């Protein structure tokens, strides 16, 4: 028999509504609220040994503390599975379910499943870490949600191989894995084209990734009063690459001084970028980081000055997560140091 702990909030725990959202975690050794339907859905193959109930506000306002407290309630029970929710589209309940599922996996090494409406903020926060069954927006979808969670939860507790999300009913965790199709790619393509021409249903195998659109900053009002910094993803570093910038899939960015330099010579600088032919950049690194012409412009007074440091990384195969972190940190530095504009070169 699979031993299950069920987590629900104060509302589904039948303690109260908003007025009771501040209550701390408590435990009951029986199914409560949606637990009754969950118990039925297990069809005798799993039993709910305890229900943990916590107020949504208590959880969200003291997240670390609440997780610690609930973990300590669950630990001695030694269950095989945690079922959290379903949270439908409830904006505090969803993240609480996600956080708790992740924590029991990380800290107690037990399986877990939750259920949410795709737009619940808990999905965005935790879909990579936890199995989350897709539910409707409200408790009207309780029966189906609980049945799906029970089925998936039992599979997880037994360590059974899971099929893809659209078969198993969970929201994609965002990991694309290689698998075999029945037909070759060419045959699938012709089938898909004929379906598309005829207006029949077809399923793209590669939904377009969504790239964040960054609106360009407004133009500088007066260049003559502006301090300009140089930033590049072109892999320009001091010769010998003393800080070991990666030639692809960079995990860091670096900051180097150009104070007193009028020109980047190939004697002292080089490119370590692995995504283009570096020969021309190494002959004259100004081709990637145009210090020489910028100095001329500075001398002519067209800009106030060039910032004394430049930033560099390698954009080749570098993850979007890392790029986002680099961008935020570099922009933060530039803002703190009164830089008005940036020349950002890419390769």
Partner 1 sequence: MRLELRRYKVVNALFGSETKLENGTLYVNKEELVSLLNESGFFERVEVYIAKPGENTRIVNIMDAVQPRWKTDGSSPFPGALGPMRIAGRGETNALDGISILQLGKRGGIQEGFIDMSGPGAEYSFFSGLINIALNFVPFSGVDDHAFDSYTRAALLKASVYLGRTTRDLDPDETEIFSIQSGSPGLPRVAYIYQLQSQELYRDTLVYGRPVRSIMPILLHPNEILDGAIVSSNYIIASQKNPTYFHLNNPVVRELSRRHGRDLIFAGVIAVNEHSTLLEKERSAAFAAKLALQLDVRGVVITQEGGGHADTDLMLNCSECEKMGIKTVIIANESSGPQGDLPPLVDVAPEADAVVSTGNNDELVKLGVMDKVFGCSDNAQDEERWRNMSESFLARIYTSTNQLGWNNLTTLQF
Give SS3 for 342: strand
The 121-140 site mask, x for binding partner 1 (CB under 8 A), equals -------x------------
Q: How many CA atoms lie within 13 A of 79 on its CB side?
A: 29
Q: How many CA atoms lie within 13 A of 144 on its CB side?
A: 14
The nearest distance, CB 171 to partner 1, in angstroms, is 10
**214 belongs to the binding site for partner 1 (CB under 8 A):** no
Using CB under 8 A, which of 29, 44, 206, 218 touches partner 1? 206
**346 belongs to the binding site for partner 1 (CB under 8 A):** no
**217 belongs to the binding site for partner 1 (CB under 8 A):** no
Whether 48 contacts 4, CB under 8 Å: yes
Nearer to partner 1, 69 or 246 (CB): 246
**159 belongs to the binding site for partner 1 (CB under 8 A):** no
Using CB under 8 A, which of 190, 283, 293, 344 touches partner 1? 190
Dihedral angle of Cα 226, 231, 237, 243, to the nearest 10 degrees: 110
**1 belongs to the binding site for partner 1 (CB under 8 A):** no
Using CB under 8 A, which of 164, 240, 242, 332 touches partner 1? 164
**200 belongs to the binding site for partner 1 (CB under 8 A):** no
Q: What is the radius of gyration, based on Cα positions, of the chain?
A: 28
**251 belongs to the binding site for partner 1 (CB under 8 A):** no
The 95-124 site mask, x for binding partner 1 (CB under 8 A), equals ------------------------------
**Secondary element (H or E) of residue 74:** helix 63-74
**Cα angle vertex 37, ends 114, 21, to 5°?**
60
Nearer to partner 1, 28 or 168 (CB): 168
Cα gap 300→306, rounded to integer Å: 12
Reading the block at residue 203, the tokens are 């399923």
Using CB under 8 A, which of 175, 222, 224, 267 touches partner 1? 175
Using CB under 8 A, which of 30, 45, 107, 173 touches partner 1? 173
**280 belongs to the binding site for partner 1 (CB under 8 A):** no
**Orientation angle between helical segments 93-103 and 63-74, nearest 10 degrees:** 50
**177 belongs to the binding site for partner 1 (CB under 8 A):** yes
**185 belongs to the binding site for partner 1 (CB under 8 A):** yes
Show contacts with partner 1 in window 288-317 (CB under 8 A): 317
Nearer to partner 1, 185 or 301 (CB): 185
Nearer to partner 1, 141 or 315 (CB): 315
Beta-sheet strand order (sheet of 26-28):
26-28, 46-54, 2-9, 81-88, 111-116, 132-134
String of DSSP letters for 225-293: G-EEEEEESB-EEETT-TT---SSS----EEEE-TT-SS--TTTEEE--SSS-THHHHH-GGGTS-HHH
- Under DSSP, the state recorded for 139 is G
**211 belongs to the binding site for partner 1 (CB under 8 A):** yes
- The 10 Å CB-count burial string (b at 16+, else e) for 106-145 is eebebbbbbbbbeebebbeebbebbbbbbbeeebebbebb
Cα gap 54→4, rounded to integer Å: 17
Binding span for partner 1 by CB under 8 A among 21-29, 72-80, 187-195, 330-338: 187-195
The nearest distance, CB 346 to partner 1, in angstroms, is 12
Q: List contacts with partner 1 (CB under 8 A).
A: 128, 162, 164-165, 172-190, 192-194, 196-198, 202, 204-209, 211, 317, 319-320
């Amino acid at each position: 028999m699979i031993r299950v702990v069920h987590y629900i909030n104060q509302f589904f725990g039948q303690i109260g509504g908003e007025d009771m959202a501040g209550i701390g975690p408590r435990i009951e050794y029986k199914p409560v609220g949606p637990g009754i339907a969950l118990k039925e859905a297990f069809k005798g193959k799993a039993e709910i040994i305890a229900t943990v109930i916590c107020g949504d506000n208590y959880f969200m306002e003291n997240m670390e503390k609440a997780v610690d407290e609930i973990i300590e309630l669950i630990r001695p029970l030694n269950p095989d599975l945690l079922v959290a929710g379903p949270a439908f589209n409830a904006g505090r309940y969803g993240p609480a379910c996600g956080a708790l599922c992740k924590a029991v996996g990380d800290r107690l090494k037990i399986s877990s499943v939750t259920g949410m409406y795709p737009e619940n903020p808990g999905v965005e926060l935790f879909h990579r870490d936890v199995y989350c069954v897709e539910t409707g927006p409200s408790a009207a979808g309780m029966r189906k949600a609980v049945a799906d969670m029970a089925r998936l939860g039992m599979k997880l507790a037994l360590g059974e191989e899971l099929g893809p999300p659209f078969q198993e009913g969970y929201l994609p965790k965002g990991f694309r894995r290689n698998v075999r199709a029945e037909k070759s790619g060419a045959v699938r393509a012709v089938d898909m084209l004929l379906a598309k021409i005829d207006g029949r249903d077809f399923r793209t195998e590669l939904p377009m990734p969504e790239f964040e659109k960054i609106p360009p900053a407004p133009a500088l009002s007066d260049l003559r009063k502006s301090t300009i910094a140089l930033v590049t993803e072109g892999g320009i570093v001091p010769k010998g690459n003393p800080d070991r910038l990666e030639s692809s899939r960079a995990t860091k960015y670096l900051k180097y001084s150009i104070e007193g330099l009028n020109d980047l010579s190939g004697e002292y600088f080089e490119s370590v970028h692995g995504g283009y032919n570096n020969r021309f950049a190494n002959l004259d690194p100004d081709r990637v980081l145009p210090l020489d012409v910028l100095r001329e412009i500075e001398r002519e007074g067209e800009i106030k000055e060039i910032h004394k440091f430049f930033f560099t990384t390698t954009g080749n195969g570098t993850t979007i997560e890392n790029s986002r972190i680099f961008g935020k940190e570099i922009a933060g530095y530039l803002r703190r140091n009164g830089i008005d504009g940036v020349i950002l070169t890419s390769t």
